[in-house]
Every structure is written in structure tokens, then in C-alpha cells.
Structure 1
Amino acid sequence: MSEQAEGRETRQRTALEEYEQSGEGRPPFILTYTEVKLLGIAGVGFFLDAYDLFIINPVSTMLQFRLYGSGTMPSNLQGLLKAAANIGSVIGQFLFGYCADAFGRKAIYGKELMLIIIATILCISTPTGTLSPTGCLIYLTMFRILLGVGVGGDYPMSASVTSDRAVLRKRGTMLAYIFANQGWGSFMGSLMNIIVLACYKHVMNDENETSKVDGVWRIIVGLSLIPAFGTLYQRLTLPESTRFKKSQDAELVEEGDLKKETLVVEAHVHATGSEGSVDEKRSTVPAHKKAHFRDVFQYFSEWRHLKILIGTCSCWFLLDIAFYGINLNTNVVLTEIGYAGGSGTPWEKLFKVATGNIIITALGFVPGYYVTVLTIEKLGRKTIQIMGFLMEALFLGILAGKFHTLSTAAFIVNFTLLQFFFNFGANATTYCYPAEVFPTRYRAFAHGMSAACGKSGAIISALVFNSLTTSIGTPAVLWIFVGCSLLGAGMKNYDFLSGTYCLTSWFAAFTFLLPEVAGRDPDAILAEELRERQ
């Protein structure tokens, strides 16, 4: 190897080690400079994910005024438009999750952001002046699906890149910090909505040119390109983590192949941040690496691993039915309770709903994430998830039962508290769990699988919310969300006759399938399992 190549490798290794160091003795939420740097690289992507996913909520209302005037957008097209990014997300989560484990984080990271940039440019090019209303919505839906592939890919990529580099005592906090950018993405989307609408007040409201709303939504969507381009280079040049490199040395072999293959078991000391303590046990012949798909299949064919994957997938699925059902339709809910007013110009209605959105986001969304950041290492993921599901059920029940009798102020307060416990609860922990509970070599795939199940719930909710609210009413739909929250939490009863805990027949305890992951080193557990198998 040349001196120049050796120097470059040394610099990359030094830069990588900076990412993977953390000061001892500090509270977990106090970050070092290099952790903040990593947070910026991974967190900005998640900021964009939230911005792009939730901005369709006000954009769909603007498109209704632009394409249908005083009429209403067909509920099936509206549902498809809102579900489009989540449909793409399912594809992206499966695809990028598998590829990140099979080919390495460095080979894949940044490609999902390139997709987001391309799809955003195509979305804002929607030819509303030449295509029919239906044609415009189909055009936008197609490229929102492509956008979703990139957005979905960022879930397993950002989670695995962060978890690979985090020390054990701060792993949950780092992941919570990353996920908190969803709150800022949603907040900035609401803020940009208000600012751009205010700039268009004269032409839309005073001059009564409602069609100018076409410019509003394009600007709002296009603004997301600024942080996307700002982060792209750092993602494409981020070096591979030491932990991931070492995880690739662990060969999972069948008992009958031990004469032909080598078993290399690596146990990493996450708690200290040191990656040099390794326990290796080798056979006497050269190793032959198996196909990654076969490796993944064999790992999850064991019930002890599969039940955890079922737990992470099920909880995320149930959470997203309620979470996206509410947050993709906040405009609909605020309008239905009269917050947008029964009269007024289109601009006045849009602006009033925009202010309602930013109030809810500022008071509920953002604080909920940071309470999770501050408490996740103390309370544990399992406690926060169960508590969050139950509190969601409580506030959804209040909104459902008192939907038509609550004052506007009381409704906003309850809606804000609901958003707070979404994010100081299962919305944060369902993201953290698969990134912490699974070993490094299966982490991205398991996270992508779990996230894809979550987005499946979001798709169902987006597609049926508008139709169901028309047929059975919004309160009935909210009661469905209450049931999903209770299913996610699980209800545990004590059986005094047998002296053991049992599950009720009606509430599946999906959260109770999951172990507490605070202080849990999945790579060390995998190493021990492989030693036992050999």
C-alpha cells in the first residue's frame, strides 16, 4: 500500500474514531462535538423525512382550491395522494434496510437523499395548468411515491448509522435526538406554510386570485431542497463504522459446515465505547462467507429472535394507524370542529388552519420528543412505550367521546396533549427499539422491516380516513384509533390463582414481546449464542 493510501486510511480511521468516542461521567443528553456532528448528518435527513411526509397535509387543501375551486377533492384521490409517500416508504425501508446490511452503510448512505432531491424537483413540476385535476393528482402521486422510497430508506439508514457509532449508555439518547428532528421538520413545515401564505395574502385575498395558491405549495415543497443539498456530501463521504466492519467477520455457519468454514465471533464492549476487546474462536480451515439473505433467514428462523421482530413490527404498525391517521388529516379535523370557520375567503381558511397546525406542533410535537431524549435512559424504552400507548388511548377517547361538545380551546388542548404523548411515547420508542435490540449485522434489515410494517398502517389509515369519516363520522374513526393504541400497549392482568401473569384475550401484548434494551448489547448476546451453537 502506498504512503498516500496509508495516510488517507489513517485519516479516515481517525475521523471514524472521533464519531465513536463519548465523554464518560456526563449525562447521556450532553453531547460531544463529534456526536453533534453525527447528529447533523443523520438528523437533517430525518428532518426532511418529516417535512416531506407531513407537508402534504396543507398542500392537499391548497390543491383542492387550485384544482376544484369551491368544490371538494374526491376522497379516494385525496387518500391516495396522502398515502403515496408512505407507499414508497415501504419499498424504500425494505430495499435500503436489506442493502445496508448486505453491502455496507457507506455503499448505500446518501443514495436515499439523492432520491428525495430528484423526487422533490419532479413534484414541484406538476403541470396544474395543462393537465386535468385528476391528471395532476395522479402525476403528483406518482412522484410522491418515488419521494417516499427515499424517505423510507432514511429510516433504517439513519438509525443503523447512529446506533453503530453510539456507545451503549447513550445509544437510546442519540437515536431519540435523531428522531426528534421529525418534530422540527413538522414545525418548520407549518412555519413555512404560514410565512409563504402571508407573502401571498395581497394577491390571493385582496385581489381574489385564489389560483395563485399554486405558487404557495410549490415554494413550500421546494424549500426542503435547501437542507437536502446541504447534507448530501457529508452522507456520501461518511466512512464505514468500525463496529459494522467487525460484525462482518462473524460467520453464521451450520453445524454440518464446521469442517469447511471458520466461525469468527466478535464480542464488542459497547458500554465503554472501546471496540478493541474481541473474543475470537476459529476453526482450522479458511472461512467461506454465506449469502446475506440466507444468514438473515437463519437468524430470524429462531423463535427467540422472531418474536422480537414481531413485537417491533406490530407495535409500529398499530402506532402508525393512529399517528398518521391523525397527522395526515389535521386540516380535516380542524376544519370539521370549526377552527377554519364556516365562512371567509380561501386564504383566510388556509391561514387559520395553518396557525392551528403550528400551535399543535410547537406545544405538542416538539416538547414530546425532547422529554423522551431526557428520560429514555432513566425510564427505559418499554416503560415509555406502554405509557405512551395508554395516554394516546386516553386522549383519543376524550376527543372521540366529546368531539362535538368540546369547545375549540378544549379541543386544541386535548389534541396537543395527544401529540405530546405520541412523541413522549410509542412514536419515538418504535423507532429506537429495532435499532437497539438487534445485532449490528441484522440491524438495518430489522429496522427497515419494522418501519415498513409501520408505514403499512399509515397507508391503511391514509387511504380509508377520508372515506370512513364520510360514512361513519370522525368520532367513530377516533374510537378505532383508541383500539389500536390499546392493542399496541397490551393489558396485563395478574392471575392470583396461579400466581403468574397472563394476557387478556382481547388485548395483544405486543410491547410485552420486547425486552428492555437499556444496557443491552445485542452483539455480545449474538456472540454468546454462536458459541453455544458451536
Structure 2
Amino acid sequence: MAEPMHEITPTVSAQYRADLEEFERHDGRPAFVLNMTELKLLGIAGVGFFLDAYDLFIINPVATMLQYRLYGGGHLPTNLEGFVKAGANIGSVIGQFAFGYAADAFGRKAVYGKELMLIIIATILTLTTPTGTLSPDACLIYLGVFRILLGIGVGGDYPMSASITSDRSNIRKRGTMLSYIFSNQGWGSFVGSLATIIVLLCYKHAMEGRGETSKVDGVWRIIVGISLVPAFGTLYQRLTLPESTRFLSAQKLKHHDHANEAGDDIEELKKAQKAEEDIKMDNIPKGDKGEIENKTRAGDSSSADTSDVDEATAPVDVLVKKKAHFSEFVAYFSEWRHGKMLLGTCMCWFLLDVAFYGINLNQNVVLQQIGYDGSEGTPWNRLFKVSTGGMIITSLGFVPGYYASILTIEILGRKWIQIQGFLLAALFLGILAGEFHTLSKPAFIVCFAFLQFFFNFGANTTTYCYPAEVFPTRFRATAHGISAAAGKAGAIISALAFNTLSKKVGTPVILWIFFGCCIAGAFFTLLLPEVKGRDPDLVLAEEIRVRREARKAQNQVVKET
């Protein structure tokens, strides 16, 4: 006799799964079309990269202005100039390591926003540089020290915003969202040049008409201080940003009784975990089980604490979202299948930044070739030309390259974009290196514009996206921080060595070195899988399942013998 059919009432955990399914649902729109929630996330997370580019690249015109304020128009001391330009990158390495590990160890929400507070404090301290009382060299040291502090905040934003965005993004739009966030670098650089031009125009009468060159001291302080506006504008939103739907759902699922669940069309990861969760809950006394349910319904935040779960018996969905300890991080990446991906993300980012920052932190060489180096005219005219040249470079290559990535990343994939970006950047570096002294001004501008375009429609975007997409949630922020720190190490090497080497061997030889870095970057990309549509937590869950089955089989053999 057939059993009577009963209506099945979904448990609380089933409702969380339904919420998650709703979050992942395809709305039928192209990936680059964002809804209001995604636009809000873009504004909150993107401001960090806007400030990154603004603060890192604004140092070029600021260094030129300090020549007139501190050294009567003469060049800055080579070593101190390198220290000031590299200061933010030195700090970035520290910030990327520290904030990346903290985000995995203590949770995203507990840490997010603190890096922006550091940026604000460091910017204010930078503005206090006492150019009227300290010696010129001491002023540069003072400025460089606080730019290191600024760099710690800027560096911390890399793993934090990447992890926050990746955790909160629909998988089919994850790469697009990350690219949107990173594209704010282009706007930061563009606005930096535009702000410099506007402020210089405001000071034109004083500097040109009255010959008060010392007023340049006010110009650089204003353009540095402008960055405080977007920073203060998003600080509250960062500090109060709630956890993502996916992250909360995964955390709350672990204490629920799944015995009555049926008919839920949920993610494969959750389906694979159902049997293990049932076993775990069956071993809990009824009173304790009821208490767990009640705590979960009441929203008890302690139910989301996964720091002390048992690796051997805990449900898989708990393990893949569990907060990571350093020893677990080392154990995970000691396996070659995982370690090679970290090696790939680190080396690709390192090699890219050697070339990318080597050129962009020393734009005076490029500006000289296109006639915007400000080598002639009054101090105001020189500064205005340098700023105009910087905006031309940004407009031609930076912004278009970023948006080419945004529009195509979910179609072409990350791996294809990164490899072609490296190879085509190498092509144009080779042309610039081989014909550096013979290219006409229009030809040089065209080649340099294409170089910048393929940096950004290529590895400069994807090296940021890859660590946020290829590593599981448990290790994502730490791995992203390490990868970004490797990139900044390359930037530091370029900032400190470019001027010295170019004087010894010539700029074309330096460009050939950058050419070699891009070719090597394309080869290291082969270590990485394509991550379009790939859920690293599912991959980790399957690895855990296979490992457990192997352990069970081994134990069974031991029992039989």
C-alpha cells in the first residue's frame, strides 16, 4: 500500500538555500549591465582603486612641483626621488600581506574599512610636510615616510576589495565585477591629471603674472588633498557593509537539520554535503539540536563561527568557508596542484608590474618623446605640459583598455585575455625599444597608446582578477595579498632601478628588459586554469570529499587486516 503524500515544509536551511539560488539566478541581461546592488558595491569597493591610481601616479607631477619649491627648479636628488616614488609601493607590500591574512583569519567585515582609515590618516599627514622649516632633503624623507603609511592602506585595499567583491558576486558576473572595480585605477589616474590642470589654471595668475613660483607649494597640497573627498565619502559604507548573501548562507547552513528537505534545486556543493550534515546532526542530542535551531532562527552570530570545526568530520560547506589559519594555508599550498597556481599568480603580477610601473612611474621619458616633458618655458608652463601629457596618455590607453576587458572577460575568459595582453604588450615594447630614436612623434604616441591599451586589456586587469577567482574562500584574501605583494615588489624594483639603469645602458635596453618580462609572463600564465564560471569552493569541496573517501577506504583496509 502506498504511503499517503504529505506536504513538505522547508526547513530554515532550505530557505537560506532558496535565497542563495535567487541570488545566483540569471536575470537575462549581459554581464556588464549592473543592477543597483552591484552599482553600490562598485562605488564602495572601487574607490580604493581610484585612490590607488590617484595617489600612486600623482607623485609624478608632485615631484616636479617639489623641484621648484625645494631645489629652485633643479632635479631632486636621485636616491630621494626614488624613495619618494617607491614609498607607496613599499608600504603596499606590507599592507597586502597584513590585510590579506587578517581578512581570512578574522573575517572580511571585521577588517574592511580599516585600510581606508589608514589612507585618510596618511594623506592628512602627507599634507603637513613642513617645506618652510625643514631642509629640502628632510622634507623628501618626511614625505616618503608617510607615503609608506599611505601605501599600507592602499595595499590593504587589494585583497580586501577583491575578496569582498568575489564573495558577493554572481559567479557568471564575477570577472566583470572585479574588472569594473579595478578599472577605477584608470579613472584615478585620469582625474589626477585633470585635477592638476584645473588647480594650475587657478594659480596661473599668481605663478605667471606675479612670478610667485613658491605658490606651487599650495598646488601640490590641494591636488593631494582632493583624494580625501571620495575617501571620506565611502568610509561609513565600508565600515557598515554587511556580509554577502553567499557567505552568510554557507555559514548558517552548518547547524541545521536537513532531514525534511526535499525538492530543493540547489547548488551541487550543497547537495553533496546533505548526507554528511544529516549524520552530524543525528549525533547531536535532541535538546542540543533544538537549541541550535533556535539560535539560528534568532540570528545568533556565534552560529557562524567556523574557527574550531573538526577537519575530519565537519560538513564540507563549513570547511570551504571556514576561517583559515596560517598552518592550514601552508599545508594547502604545499601541494603542487595548488602551489603552482599561487606561483602563477605571483610571477605574472610581478613580471607585469616590472614593466607597467617601470613605464608609468617614469613617464617623463615618454613625455619627452611626445613633447610634453615640460623641458622649456616658465615653471607654470612646464608643470601644465607635464599634466596635459599625463592626461593624454591616460585617455589614449588606460581607460579604453579597462573597458575592453569589462565587455569581453566573460566571453573570452581570463587566460586568453592575459596571454594575448602580455604578447601584444611585448610586441609594442619591442617596436618602441628597436625604434626608440627614429620613431616620429605621431608613431611613438600610437605605439605607446597601444602598449597601454594591451596592458589594461590584458594582464593589468586579469592579474587582479585571477587570485580573487582561482582560490577558495578560506585562502582567497591571503593568496590575493601575496600575489599583489609580488606585483608591488616588481614595481619597487622598477621605481628604484629605472633611472639609474637608463642612464647607464640607455632607455631602449630597459624597454627590451620589459619586453622579456612580458614574454615570461605569458608563459607563467600557462600554470593557471581558466576560471570563467569556475567555483573554487566546489573544487575544494570535491578535493575534501575525495580525501575523506580515500581515508575511509584506508581505514577499512586496516580493519579487515
Would the TM-score normalized by the shorter structure come out above 0.5?
Answer: yes
Given that 1:339 and 1:408 are in contact with CA atoms closer than 8 Å, whether structure 2 keeps it comes out as: no
Distance between the aligned counterparts of 1:247 and 1:51, measured in 2?
A: 37
Distance 1:78 1:95, change over 3 A: same
Matched, 1:527 2:530: no
Distance between the aligned counterparts of 1:414 and 1:195, measured in 2?
A: 28
Given that 1:97 and 1:446 are in contact with CA atoms closer than 8 Å, whether structure 2 keeps it comes out as: yes
Given that 2:21 and 2:266 are in contact with CA atoms closer than 8 Å, whether structure 1 keeps it comes out as: no
Give, as a single letter, the amino acid of the residue that structure 2 aligns with 1:480: I
Given that 1:337 and 1:404 are in contact with CA atoms closer than 8 Å, whether structure 2 keeps it comes out as: no
Within 5 Å, give how 1:421-460 maps onto structure 2: 421-460=454-493
Which of 532, 538, 543 matches 1:518? 532
Given that 1:83 and 1:459 are in contact with CA atoms closer than 8 Å, whether structure 2 keeps it comes out as: yes
Which of 260, 273, 278 matches 1:279? 273
Which ranges of structure 2 fall in alignment gaps of 5 or more residues? 1-15, 255-264, 285-307, 312-323, 549-561
The residue that corresponds to 1:411 in the other structure is: 444
Deviations 1:99-129 (A, max 9, x none): 1011100000000000000000000110011
Distance between the aligned counterparts of 1:401 and 1:355, measured in 2?
A: 27
The residue that corresponds to 1:85 in the other structure is: 88
The residue that corresponds to 1:500 in the other structure is: none
Report % sequence identity.
71
Distance between the aligned counterparts of 2:216 and 2:310, measured in 1?
A: 57
Deviations 1:485-514 (A, max 9, x none): 11101xxxxxxxxxxxxxxxxxxx200000
Task: Determine helix, strand or coil for the equivalent of 1:400.
Answer: helix
The residue that corresponds to 2:331 in the other structure is: 298
- 1:409 is displaced (CA, Å) by 2.4
Q: CA RMSD in A?
A: 2.4
Q: Which moved more, 1:238-247 or 1:178-187?
A: 238-247
- 1:474 is displaced (CA, Å) by 1.6
Deviations 1:164-188 (A, max 9, x none): 0111111111111111111111110
Given that 1:382 and 1:514 are in contact with CA atoms closer than 8 Å, whether structure 2 keeps it comes out as: yes
Deviations 1:181-219 (A, max 9, x none): 111111100110111111111111222222211111110
- 1:276 is displaced (CA, Å) by 6.8
Given that 1:76 and 1:467 are in contact with CA atoms closer than 8 Å, whether structure 2 keeps it comes out as: no
Q: Which moved more, 1:220-229 or 1:33-42?
A: 33-42
- 1:274 is displaced (CA, Å) by 10
Q: Which moved more, 1:87-96 or 1:40-49?
A: 40-49
The residue that corresponds to 2:503 in the other structure is: 470
- 1:278 is displaced (CA, Å) by 6.5
Distance 1:249 1:17, change over 3 A: closer
Matched, 1:486 2:519: yes
Give, as a single letter, the amino acid of the residue that structure 1 aligns with 2:161: S
Distance 1:110 1:57, change over 3 A: same
Within 5 Å, give how 1:253-402 maps onto structure 2: 279-280=273-274, 281=276, 288=309, 292-335=325-368, 338-340=371-373, 342-402=375-435
Matched, 1:232 2:246: no
- 1:30 is displaced (CA, Å) by 0.9
Given that 1:364 and 1:420 are in contact with CA atoms closer than 8 Å, whether structure 2 keeps it comes out as: yes
Q: Which moved more, 1:172-181 or 1:39-48?
A: 39-48
- Relative to its length, the structure with more helix (as a share) is 2
- 1:71 is displaced (CA, Å) by 1.6
Distance between the aligned counterparts of 2:89 and 2:329, measured in 1?
A: 25
Distance between the aligned counterparts of 2:266 and 2:120, measured in 1?
A: 38
Distance between the aligned counterparts of 1:485 and 1:317, measured in 2?
A: 10
Which ranges of structure 1 fall in alignment gaps of 5 or more residues? 1-12, 252-270, 490-508
Max Rg structure:
2
- 1:24 is displaced (CA, Å) by 2.1
Which of 171, 184, 190 matches 2:193? 190
Give, as a single letter, the amino acid of the residue that structure 1 aligns with 2:463: T
Given that 2:269 and 2:541 are in contact with CA atoms closer than 8 Å, whether structure 1 keeps it comes out as: no
Given that 2:432 and 2:508 are in contact with CA atoms closer than 8 Å, whether structure 1 keeps it comes out as: yes
Distance between the aligned counterparts of 1:409 and 1:196, measured in 2?
A: 29
Distance 1:188 1:273, change over 3 A: farther
Distance 1:65 1:332, change over 3 A: farther
- 1:301 is displaced (CA, Å) by 1.2
Q: Which moved more, 1:368-377 or 1:49-58?
A: 49-58
Distance between the aligned counterparts of 1:398 and 1:166, measured in 2?
A: 40
Give, as a single letter, the amino acid of the residue that structure 1 aligns with 2:359: I
Within 5 Å, give how 1:39-54 maps onto structure 2: 39-54=42-57
Distance between the aligned counterparts of 2:272 and 2:203, measured in 1?
A: 62
The residue that corresponds to 1:59 in the other structure is: 62
Task: Determine helix, strand or coil for the equivalent of 1:318.
Answer: helix
Deviations 1:214-246 (A, max 9, x none): 111110110000000000000000112243356
Given that 1:93 and 1:452 are in contact with CA atoms closer than 8 Å, whether structure 2 keeps it comes out as: yes
Distance between the aligned counterparts of 1:334 and 1:510, measured in 2?
A: 32
Distance between the aligned counterparts of 1:247 and 1:78, measured in 2?
A: 49
Given that 2:166 and 2:174 are in contact with CA atoms closer than 8 Å, whether structure 1 keeps it comes out as: yes
